[in-house]
Structure 1
């Protein structure tokens, strides 16, 4: 996907090696990035041990929040696809101990299916 797609809110798959390099300071010694996606400035990263959600904040995006969710803590997840009049797709992930789900919005995007499939592979 192009930079233009990312700006529109469409997810694009990232290179696993580049993402591994970016996260070397927070990954465990035997942890490896298996899939990584960008949505505008944020990222959804699947490792062999956990799900990492990166929320870039501020104007420059230099400040980042890393939310680490062990796969065993994911209770359920849902995917809402786009329709004729509703052009937003939505992914919701319920984590044990939280009342509200983690929610990510996609715009007219096919990669939500890939992300949902990856969640099924790792969390089930």
Structure 2
């Protein structure tokens, strides 16, 4: 295996593992919002406000889908690259909307999603 293939494989594996972690964390936050909605407190005078339970279901379902697609990417399914990029983008947007409820967590997951997107976009399988 040449250096370019090793690097590309490392990028994909790195992104997929981060995506699994991000999906698990998203699912846990979703469960927390569904089970104990008082856990999240809205900052006063924030521009927008959403239902905590609704956001919990969104995070839970998005987390499960992220895990499934990331596992497909680890299994070598090349079709999973673009769905992971799209799902990471959707999750970053969802976390942005979740900022008033849990700001530090949302920022952490947005940064994680950006790293995942970068890693998968940096991978060029056709140039191997």
Task: Tell me the TM-score normalized by structure 2.
Answer: 0.28
Name whichever structure is richer in helix by fraction.
2
Structure number with the bigger relative contact order (C-alpha 8 A, sep ≥ 6) is 2
Normalized per residue, the structure richer in strand is 1
